[in-house]
Structure formats: structure tokens, C-alpha cells
């Protein structure tokens, strides 16, 4: 039955410190992404009576106004698509670390972290299959692009989720990435300080340098070179903007191999193997006792295969770490 009036829903104690769009997708997984975006743009979804954006951070106890169009999209009996058992098993095999508080995966490239338009399976949903039936599903506390591989951390408890979210928000999490890029940087190590803003028509948006945008900083160090074609870089983002590494590397003239969205050219000599970006390591305070939790993920076969094809030594990444640390990573 179509709802004729808007309703309000209170943010539960264990739902705070997450983005409004993520909260909406969890509450209304059947709602089309286009509908959510339209309702947010038009101000029909409000938080404590005020207009809110998709990236508004919710706090426990706040009231979210849900317009009738959204309530009408919620069927009385929700039919969930079953979890893909092969994907669940692949994720189980990718677990890097697990305790009573957290779970870390070596996320495969090509699998979306969160569901959305056209995404039938995602880690956010598949994670329910990684714990015993009836146990709370592990929760996302940060994101990786669909085509990026590497360390992805999930929280197994509500208090862990809040603690880890604060660590990312407060920049206590140290992230290390490997990237294969086009060309060879003139400066072998440095800092990219370039504010970013989302530009372009909806559905074709990309992050671009903009003085009025959000501050974004990335440290980099060159680990190995194959002049003039390509280099293996270590990257340490000091901020966590959408597509930050991809946009920053395009800005300095060295886009990531396989990243056509951000300037990478197709090269007949290099077989197309997807985005060559890997989240190699993550270190942050453990939510139980604040000791440093450090998790490393080996690069996928496709990344190592690309290194070999280009004549780049992946072991050089470890030797380049001091260069990056000297820059303040």
C-alpha cells in the first residue's frame, strides 16, 4: 500500500557515525539508487528537520525524515537475492586477520564494496555469510573502489565500528598502496597537495583539481622504473577523498595503468588487466586496547603478472619504504 505521509525514523545507538547514504541503503536495500539521489537532492530526506547531503554523518538519536516515495518502495515482504556461495567462499579464503572485534579481507579487484545501481552482490552484503547464522554481519568502516584490490577492514561489533570510524575520521589510520603508473616521475619521491572536487554530469562524475574543493594530500615514492613506459610507486594518502590517488596521479602526469577514467592510455604492448592499484597495508589502533593493528595484503596475480610483463621488480616496494617514511608517511 502506498504511504501518503512522510515518516521519521530514529538513528539507533549502533548506527551512528555513518554516512546518510549508507544508512539509507542499509534501511532500504530495495530502493533504486536513482530514487535515493533524487530525494536527497530535492531536500525531501531531512535529518533533525534540516536538509542533508549524501555524505552527512549521522549521530545516534537523530531523526531522519523519510518521504512517502521512499516508504512506498519498501515491500511488506522483502525478497532477498540469495548470497552467491562461491563469492562467500572466495571471501572466506581472503581473510587476512580476524578476532572478536574485527575482520580484515584481501579484497579482490572487481567486487563492489557496497551495493548500488546494477550491483547485485557486494562485500557489504556477502559479509553476512562469513559469520555463524544469527550473528551480526560484519560492518564496513571504510571503502575501496570496486576495481582496487587489497586490505579491507570490517567491524564485528557496533562499538568496534564506532571506534574504527573515529580512527579513519581522525586520520589515525595509516594506509599504504602500490600502483603501476604510466611513465617515470622526474621527482622520485614527493608530496601531491591538490584539493579535489567532484565535477561532471551525474553518472559520469570524476574528481578534479579545484581550489575550492576538499583538501587532499598524497605522499609517493618510486620503487622501480621501466623507462620510459612505467613505474611502480608506493603511495600514502594523508587524506581520504574519493578517487584521491587516481586523480592525484593523473594530475602529475602519471595515471594508473588500466584507469581510463583518469587519463590512462591503452597500450597494445600491455595487456588490459584492470586497474593496477592495490591497498597493500593498513595500520591503526585496535578498538579493544589501542595497540597498533597492522595488516598487510599480498598483491593479486594480475598485479604481479603486470610487473613481470613490464620488467618491474615487486620486491623493490619494500626497499622503497624508507623514502616514503622520510616524507612523513
Going by their DSSP bridges, the two strands 277-285 and 174-182 should be labelled as: antiparallel
Residues in Cβ contact with 238 at an 8 Å cutoff, skipping those fewer than 6 apart: 171, 217, 218, 219, 328
Owner of C-alpha cell 594506509: 175
231, 232, 238, 241 alpha-carbon torsion, rounded to 10°: 70
All residues at 6 or more sequence positions from 210 whose CB lies less than 8 Å from its CB, including other chains: 195, 196, 197, 199
| 99 a catalytic residue | no
Which residues does residue 282 pair with via DSSP β-bridges, in sequence order? Answer: 175, 295
| Nearest-angstrom CA–CA distance, 261 and 206 | 8
Q: What ranges in the chain are assigned the alpha helix state H?
A: 20-27, 33-41, 68-72, 85-93, 123-126, 158-169, 244-251, 301-310, 316-326
Contacts 24+ apart (CB under 8 A), 153-156: 153/102, 153/103, 153/104, 153/282, 153/284, 153/295, 154/102, 154/103, 154/104, 154/105, 154/123, 154/127, 155/101, 155/102, 155/103, 155/287, 156/100, 156/101, 156/102, 156/103, 156/131
Q: How far apart are CA 47 and CA 10, in angstroms?
A: 10
DSSP string covering 274-309: S--EEEEEEEEE-TTT--EEEEE-PPPHHHHHHHHH
Rounded Cα–Cα distance for residues 209 and 227 (Å):
27
List 124, 145, 147, 259, catalytic entry? 145
CB 21 within 8 A of CB 54: yes
Residues marked as catalytic: 145
Amino acid at each position: 500500500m502506498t504511504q501518503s505521509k512522510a515518516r521519521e525514523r530514529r538513528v539507533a545507538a549502533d548506527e551512528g557515525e555513518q554516512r546518510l547514504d549508507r544508512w539509507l541503503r542499509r534501511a532500504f536495500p530495495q530502493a533504486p539508487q536513482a530514487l535515493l539521489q533524487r530525494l536527497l537532492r530535492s531536500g525531501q530526506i531531512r535529518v533533525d528537520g534540516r536538509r542533508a547531503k549524501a555524505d552527512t554523518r549521522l549521530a545516534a538519536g537523530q531523526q531522519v525524515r523519510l518521504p512517502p516515495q521512499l516508504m512506498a518502495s519498501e515491500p511488506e515482504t522483502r525478497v532477498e537475492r540469495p548470497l552467491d556461495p562461491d563469492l562467500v567462499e572466495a571471501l572466506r579464503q581472503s581473510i587476512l586477520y580476524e578476532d572478536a572485534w574485527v575482520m580484515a579481507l584481501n579484497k579482490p579487484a572487481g567486487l563492489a564494496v557496497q551495493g548500488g545501481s546494477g550491483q547485485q552482490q557486494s562485500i557489504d552484503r556477502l559479509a553476512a555469510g562469513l559469520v555463524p547464522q544469527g550473528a551480526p554481519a560484519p560492518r564496513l568502516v571504510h571503502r575501496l573502489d570496486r576495481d582496487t584490490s587489497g586490505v579491507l577492514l570490517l567491524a564485528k561489533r557496533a562499538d568496534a565500528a564506532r571506534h574504527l570510524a573515529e580512527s579513519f575520521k581522525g586520520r589515525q589510520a595509516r594506509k599504504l598502496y602500490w600502483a603501476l603508473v604510466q611513465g617515470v616521475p622526474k621527482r622520485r619521491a614527493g608530496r601531491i597537495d591538490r584539493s579535489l572536487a567532484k565535477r561532471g554530469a551525474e553518472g559520469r562524475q570524476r574528481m578534479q583539481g579545484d581550489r575550492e574543493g576538499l583538501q587532499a594530500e598524497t605522499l609517493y615514492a618510486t620503487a622501480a622504473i621501466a623507462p620510459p613506459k612505467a613505474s611502480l610507486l608506493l603511495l600514502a594518502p594523508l587524506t581520504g577523498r574519493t578517487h584521491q590517488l587516481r586523480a592525484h596521479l593523473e594530475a602529475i602526469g602519471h595515471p594508473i595503468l588500466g584507469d581510463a577514467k583518469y587519463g590512462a592510455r591503452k597500450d597494445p604492448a600491455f595487456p588490459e588487466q584492470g586497474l593496477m592499484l592495490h591497498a597493500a597495508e593498513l595500520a591503526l589502533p585496535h578498538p579493544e586496547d589501542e595497540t597498533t593493528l597492522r595488516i598487510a595484503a599480498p598483491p593479486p596475480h594480475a598485479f604481479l603478472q603486470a610487473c613481470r610483463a613490464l620488467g618491474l621488480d615487486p620486491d623493490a616496494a619494500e626497499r622503497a619504504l624508507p623514502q616514503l617514511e622520510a616524507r612523513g608517511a
